[in-house]
Amino acid sequence: MNKYIDYKFYQEVFGGKLSSEDFSVYEFKARKFIDTITFNRVNEINLNDDIKMAACITLEKLKKYDDEVSFKSSESVGKRSVSYSESLVEKFKENLYAEISIYLPKGLLYRGV
């Protein structure tokens, strides 16, 4: 399936402020995240404004995390040492799932057959 949202929807309906270049990168990442949690069940027939809003929220959260959070395994500068575990990435995904799942039809999130 093509994009869930276009730049016009993102700007005019959602009120997004990302540049068109950033939008293109993060729309793709957002779509792949939503495809993963919905088991690729979003299609042209069931794509609605709620799913589009979930995509907008997802792309903005992904951009924000890329800008603010570095998921480094470790870093040392002089006497200062910082390390982040993979659990931060998983926690981010869990929080993002919780935030956008209210917009997604429950049938798309169902893990059964």
pLDDT exceeds cutoff 60 at 71: no
Report the percent of the chain where pLDDT is more than 70.
88
Find how far residue 19's CA is from the centre of its chain: 17
What is the rounded average pLDDT of the residues 42-65?
Answer: 96
pLDDT of residue 89: 80
53: its two tokens: 């809003």
- Rounded to an integer, the average pLDDT of 102-109 is 95
Show the beta-strand stretches assigned E in the chain.
75-77, 80-82
Cβ(6)–Cβ(49) under 8 Å? no
Does residue 81 surpass a pLDDT of 80? no
CA-CA distance, 42 to 36, in Å (whole number)? Answer: 10
* Rounded mean pLDDT, 31-37: 97
Over residues 5-17, the pLDDT tens digits come to: 999 999 999 999 9
Contacting residues for 92 by C-beta, under 8 A, at least 6 apart? 65, 69
Q: Which helix (H) or strand (E) holds 27?
A: helix 20-37
For the entire predicted model, the pTM comes to 0.83
